[in-house]
Amino acid sequence: MSLLKEKVTSIHHWTDKTFSFKTTRDMSFRFKNGEFAMIGLEIDGKPLLRAYSVVSPNHEDHLEFLSIKVPNGPLTSKLQHIKVNDEIIVNSKPTGTLVCDYLLPGRNLYLFSTGTGLAPFMSIVRDPETYEKFKRVVLTHTVRTPKELAYKDFLENLNQDEIYSEITNGKFIYFNSVTRENWERKGRITKWIEENKLWEYLGVEMFNPEEDRVMICGSESMTFDLKKIFEDLGSKEGSTKVQGGFVIEKAFAEK
C-alpha cells in the first residue's frame, strides 16, 4: 500500500459531535462510489488510520469525508481540530461492499443510514450510473436530533440542483427521521419499515425482495436489525464476490 498526503481545503462543523472536511485529491487515487479509504494523521512519526467512506463522488477533483468527534478517540480526538492547509494521510487502496455492482439488478434502490453512515451514500446518489440501474433511489437518514441531519438542505434540493437535476431526473427521494426530539418524521427507521409506514409515506410500491435492492450503513444495532428484517423478507446478502439483494458495510458499523 502507498500512503498519499492530501491538504485540507475546507472544514464544516455540523454539530459538536460531527464535522466534514474536504481535501485535495491525488489523481492516482481511484475509487468506486460507496467505497471507503483508510485515512488519518501522522502521530509521533507513525500513521494512525481509520476507515472513512468517501462522501464526494468519484468524478470530483477533491475528496470529502464525514466524521464523528470522539473525545478520547485515538484519531478523532485529534482529527476534529484540523485546520485548512493541514495534511492528512490517505491509503491509496480504497475498498468496501457498498457498491452498486455488488447488488443484483433491480427496481428501487434503498440506502438506509444512521449518523455518519450517510457518508458512502452521498457519493452513490450523485453517480449517474446509479440512476441508469434503478427506477428510483431512496435515501433515508436517521439521527437523534435535527441538527445532526448533515447535508439535509443539499439532499432536499438534489432533484432541482443545477448540476445533479440532469443526473437524477426526479428519481431521487430523500427521507429523514429523528429519534430524540420532536420532528415531523419521528422514530427509528426499523419501526418505519416494520409497520409498513415507510413505503406508504414515500408513495412507492411495497418492498419486494425479488425486485428491490438495499444498502445499509450506520450504527451496529441498526445495521444488524435491518439485515434481519430484509433477510426475513426474503432478501439475500451480497458481497464483493456474489451479487445479492442487500449489502452492508461491516468495516465501521458505528459503535
Condensed to tens digits (0 to 9), the pLDDT of residues 33-77 reads 999 999 999 999 999 999 999 999 999 999 999 999 988 989 999
Q: Is 137's pLDDT higher than 60?
A: yes
Residues 86-95 have a mean pLDDT of: 96
Asked if residues 58 and 71 have their Cβ atoms less than 8 Å apart, the reply is no
Domains and CATH numbers, the chain: 3-91 (2.40.30.10), 100-248 (3.40.50.80)
pTM for the whole thing?
Answer: 0.96
Q: Decide if pLDDT at 194 tops 90.
A: yes
User: Helix, strand or coil for residue 228?
Assistant: helix
**3-state SS track over 106-160:** CCEEEEEEEHHHHHHHHHHCCCHHHHHHCCEEEEEEEECCHHHCCCHHHHHCHHH
pLDDT of residue 252: 59
* Residue 235, pLDDT score: 98
Name the pairing type of β-strands 62-68 and 18-24.
antiparallel
User: For residue 129, what is its C-alpha cell?
Assistant: 450510473
**What mean pLDDT value characterizes the chain?**
95
pLDDT band per the 50, 70, 90 thresholds, residue 254 = very low
Task: Render pLDDT for 214-253 as a digit per residue (tens, 0 to 9).
Answer: 999 999 999 999 999 999 999 999 999 999 999 999 775 4
DSSP 36-49: EEEEEEEETTEEEE
Work out the burial of residue 232: count CB atoms within 10 Å of its CB; fewer than 13 is exposed, 13-18 middle, 19 or more buried.
exposed
Please tell me the predicted confidence (pLDDT) of residue 253: 45
What is the per-residue pLDDT for 54? 98
Percent of the chain with pLDDT strictly greater than 90: 95
Quick one: what percent of the chain has pLDDT higher than 70? 98
Element (H, E) at 232: helix 220-232
Instruction: Please identify which residue in the block is written with the cell numbers 468524478.
Output: 59
